[in-house]
């Protein structure tokens, strides 16, 4: 660029007037003057010097490796020929050939000499061809010398008619939600569609073998062939590009879900049955912060208490190796114990207080009990769209890892489906539910928490996969650790609630009467809750109906069932409901309740002795296996157990007065779901506003709210 020359700047043509230091003065055709810094001028996307050729573009050098060897070598040979014509040296060594010396021969003479050389070597070449190859080399580099016929490649669809391909793709998409059919059916459907669109016989359907190859090529990568399950799984994925869910601190996102465990458990009297696993996965650390097994399906109270278990240290069990203790792990034990004395005897499993829980549309997780329990703890609930497993892919993938890393090693493993189930599964099953739970807890600490996870990479060590415990240690060093102890009252607050009157005979619901001397001052009295018609707040545990907890002005009171001594074996709500339906109503209400209690005791005794119907034995075994959650460890001395908790709320589920003779349905699979079906909507419980607790999406609405 010289003074008087022209340049293009900001899409306008300018004349260079002055070149001074780091600045250039430009004048356009209308006389406007611009003083521009060199760096700014050269960085302009429109900049060019008028009259000078643009530099050649860099060709796709990486694609040279994709060419066949013969085509690649031919292009490199032409590169040597072009260099020799232009510089006189083919290899750039500086040794110039006589007939290509630029000092002695013109460019035209050198081009003619190269054409004669190639023709004499058996490759007829004209001067125009040499000149054309020089132009391509200057414009595209080596890639311009490649025979484009070799670079074109072949299409997976071959030379198929575009009308056939378009129609085939439409029919494949229409068949995606239907039952799986054969390629022969697909070929007929495509033929019908072509006749309907273009007229009979206008567009021919390819032969069967050609059509089958074409169908597989069109469906490849789209998930339009395969089993119906595979197609549904593919269609449930969101449209690319995918944005991974990222959590940067423990508890920021906790995914919860339930699934049947692929292991047969031996219940109390030898009845075999598959149990259900519900777990909570911390996304930031990939830690399994809580996991529970249940024989009769997970209920809302299980899911709610799982939140408390995640925030409570797992105590070392008798017989566990000392290597599983937190003090023997990579976690900064001494520092954490100084903040939370509960960790002194804890196993090496992270303690996480969830901020947001990600759940599916399962009845348990969208129930009033679970949502209100989360609100009372200041936890936001984020339901995923219906039938969208990838939205909570972390916990779904964890279930697969539990199956391969734990279940397949347990006696009684059933396989993931009936095609993989062995013939000795029932004979091998030997673990009770309590033993299976203990094995699972030990595996979580010994196997999962110390196993490198490919999804965990420290920013300063991207080549090394960290374990969940190592990632938790790294993140709490940045985010800090705040202990959130739970007392027994906090556990009671997480249990479902009923609003009942306190009468002279005590509190009655579900044909059971609960009474205690602690209720004497409140019999016949109305509570302060005017919105509940003066009834009292009563919490109960579905797996332990022998007692309830009543909130009185001085706090919770434990009230036992008056006939608890009549039942010598454990039982649960579904067992009681079964007996209630099988015993006819005779005499007074009290006589009827006593008869029910005696019948229940007889059922449990018969089932334990191997007698009774198969249904009764199964119910008794499930009741014995449905052990309640263990009580939390005692808080550290001088520690205010409620200081860091949001005020516990009311797990409100309105119900009719249980004194009425209401024949409630017997649903064993979900103890609380039928209550939620008839319960009116309630406002969310008071939440910890500082933590922004709330329901991110209304999970009770239909699928219309979800974006498609």
Q: How confident is the model at residue 654 (pLDDT cuts 50, 70, 90)?
A: very low
Based on the fold, state whether residues 136 and 28 are members of the same structural domain: no
Based on the fold, state whether residues 406 and 467 are members of the same structural domain: yes
Task: Among 128, 152, 176, identify where a domain stops.
Answer: 152
Report the greatest alpha carbon distance in the chain.
Answer: 129
Based on the fold, state whether residues 145 and 193 are members of the same structural domain: no
| 412 within domain boundaries | yes
| 96 within domain boundaries | yes
Q: How confident is the model at residue 517 (pLDDT cuts 50, 70, 90)?
A: very high
Residue 689 tokens, joined: 């506003």
| 157 within domain boundaries | no
**Can you give the CATH number for the domain in which 266 is found?**
3.30.420.10
Composition of the chain by helix, strand, coil, percent to 5: 40, 15, 45
* For residue 190, pLDDT beyond 80: yes
333 is in which domain, residue-wise?
Answer: 254-485
Q: Mean pLDDT score of the chain, rounded to an integer?
A: 79
pLDDT digits (tens, 9 = 90+) for 533-572: 899 999 987 767 788 999 999 999 999 988 877 665 565 6
Based on the fold, state whether residues 432 and 498 are members of the same structural domain: no
| 276 within domain boundaries | yes
Based on the fold, state whether residues 304 and 435 are members of the same structural domain: yes
pLDDT digits (tens, 9 = 90+) for 234-246: 877 777 777 778 8
Number of domains in the chain: 5
> Regarding predicted confidence, which is higher, 589 or 286?
286
- Per the CB < 8 A criterion, the answer to whether 653 and 676 are in contact is yes
Q: How confident is the model at residue 185 (pLDDT cuts 50, 70, 90)?
A: very high
pLDDT at residue number 72: 86
Based on the fold, state whether residues 315 and 447 are members of the same structural domain: yes
- Per the CB < 8 A criterion, the answer to whether 388 and 659 are in contact is no
Q: How confident is the model at residue 448 (pLDDT cuts 50, 70, 90)?
A: very high
Based on the fold, state whether residues 423 and 334 are members of the same structural domain: yes
**Contact residues for 313 (Cβ-Cβ < 8 A; gap 6+):** 326, 340, 342, 343, 346, 347, 349, 351, 633
| 426 within domain boundaries | yes
Based on the fold, state whether residues 114 and 94 are members of the same structural domain: yes
For the ranges 2-16, 150-164, 589-603, which has the lowest average pLDDT? 589-603
* 682 CB neighbour count, 10 Å cutoff: 14
Based on the fold, state whether residues 426 and 366 are members of the same structural domain: yes
* For residue 701, pLDDT beyond 50: no
Burial class (CB in 10 A: 0-12, 13-18, 19+), 65: exposed
| 225 within domain boundaries | yes
Q: How confident is the model at residue 630 (pLDDT cuts 50, 70, 90)?
A: very low
CA distance to 71, 118, 219, 372, per residue, from 208 (Å): 35, 49, 16, 60
| 267 within domain boundaries | yes
Task: Among 428, 453, 485, identify where a domain stops.
Answer: 485
* For residue 91, pLDDT beyond 90: no
- Per the CB < 8 A criterion, the answer to whether 508 and 562 are in contact is no
Q: Which helix or strand (DSSP H or E) is residue 167 part of?
A: helix 162-175
Based on the fold, state whether residues 616 and 475 are members of the same structural domain: no
Based on the fold, state whether residues 118 and 174 are members of the same structural domain: no
| 280 within domain boundaries | yes
Based on the fold, state whether residues 465 and 494 are members of the same structural domain: no
């Amino acid at each position: 660029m010289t003074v008087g020359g022209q340049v293009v700047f900001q899409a306008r043509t300018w004349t260079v007037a002055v070149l001074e230091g780091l600045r250039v003065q430009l004048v356009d055709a209308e006389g406007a003057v611009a003083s521009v810094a060199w760096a700014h001028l050269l960085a302009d996307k429109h900049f060019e010097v008028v009259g000078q050729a643009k530099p050649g573009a860099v060709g796709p050098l990486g694609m040279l490796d994709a060419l066949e060897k013969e085509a690649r070598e031919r292009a490199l040979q032409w590169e040597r020929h072009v260099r020799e014509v232009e510089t006189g040296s083919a290899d750039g060594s500086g040794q110039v050939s006589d007939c290509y010396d630029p000092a002695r021969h013109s460019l035209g003479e050198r081009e003619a000499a190269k054409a004669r050389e190639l023709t004499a070597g058996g490759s007829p070449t004209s001067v125009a061809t040499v000149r054309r190859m020089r132009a391509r080399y200057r414009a595209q580099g080596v890639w311009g010398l490649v025979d484009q016929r070799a670079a074109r490649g072949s299409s997976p669809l071959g030379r198929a008619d575009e009308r056939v391909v378009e129609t085939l793709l439409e029919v494949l998409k229409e068949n995606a939600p239907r039952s799986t059919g054969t390629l022969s059916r697909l070929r007929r459907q495509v033929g019908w569609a072509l006749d309907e669109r273009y007229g009979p016989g206008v567009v021919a359907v390819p032969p069967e073998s050609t059509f089958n190859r074409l169908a597989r090529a069109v469906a490849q990568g789209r998930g339009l062939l395969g089993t119906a399950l595979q197609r549904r799984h593919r269609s449930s994925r969101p449209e690319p590009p995918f944005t991974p869910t990222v959590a940067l601190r423990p508890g920021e996102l906790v995914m919860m879900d339930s699934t049947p465990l692929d292991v047969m458990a031996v219940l109390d009297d030898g009845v075999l049955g598959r149990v259900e696993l519900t777990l909570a996965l911390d996304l930031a650390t990939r830690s399994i912060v809580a996991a529970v097994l249940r024989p009769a399906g997970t209920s809302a109270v299980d899911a709610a208490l799982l939140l408390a278990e995640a925030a409570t240290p797992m105590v070392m069990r008798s017989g566990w190796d000392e290597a599983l203790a937190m003090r023997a792990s990579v976690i900064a034990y001494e520092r954490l114990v100084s903040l939370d004395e509960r960790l002194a005897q804890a196993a090496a499993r992270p303690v996480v207080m969830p901020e947001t829980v990600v759940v599916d549309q399962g009845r348990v997780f969208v129930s009033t009990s679970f949502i209100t329990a989360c609100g009372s703890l200041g936890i936001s609930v984020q339901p995923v769209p219906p039938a969208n497993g990838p939205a909570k892919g972390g916990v779904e993938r964890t279930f697969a890892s539990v199956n391969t890393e734990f279940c397949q090693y347990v006696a009684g493993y059933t396989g993931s489906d009936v095609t993989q189930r062995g013939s000795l599964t029932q004979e091998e099953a030997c673990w009770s539910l309590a033993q299976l739970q203990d094995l699972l807890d030990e595996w979580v600490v010994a196997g999962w928490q110390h196993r490198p996870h490919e999804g965990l990479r420290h920013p300063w060590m991207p080549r090394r996969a960290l374990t969940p415990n190592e990632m938790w240690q790294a993140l709490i060093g940045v985010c800090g650790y705040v202990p959130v102890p739970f007392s027994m009252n906090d556990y009671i607050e997480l249990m479902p609630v009923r609003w009942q009157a306190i009468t002279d005979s005590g509190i009655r619901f579900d044909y059971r009467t609960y009474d205690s001397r602690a209720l004497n001052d409140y019999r016949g009295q109305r509570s302060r809750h005017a919105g509940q018609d003066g009834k009292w707040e009563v919490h109960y545990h579905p797996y332990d109906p022998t007692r309830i907890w009543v909130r009185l002005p001085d706090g919770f009171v434990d009230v036992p069932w008056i006939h608890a001594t009549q039942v010598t074996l454990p039982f649960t709500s579904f067992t009681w409901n079964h007996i209630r339906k099988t015993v006819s109503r005779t005499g007074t209400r009290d006589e009827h309740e006593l008869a029910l209690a005696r019948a229940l005791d007889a059922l449990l005794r018969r089932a334990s002795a191997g007698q009774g119907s198969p249904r009764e034995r199964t119910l008794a075994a499930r009741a014995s296996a449905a052990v309640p959650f263990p009580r939390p460890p005692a808080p550290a001395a001088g520690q205010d157990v409620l200081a860091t908790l949001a005020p516990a709320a009311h797990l409100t589920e309105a119900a009719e007065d249980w004194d009425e003779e209401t024949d409630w349905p017997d649903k064993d699979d979900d103890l609380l779901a039928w209550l939620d079906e008839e319960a009116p909507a309630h406002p969310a419980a008071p939440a910890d506003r500082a933590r922004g607790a709330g329901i991110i999406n209304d999970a009770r609405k239909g699928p219309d709210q979800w974006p498609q």
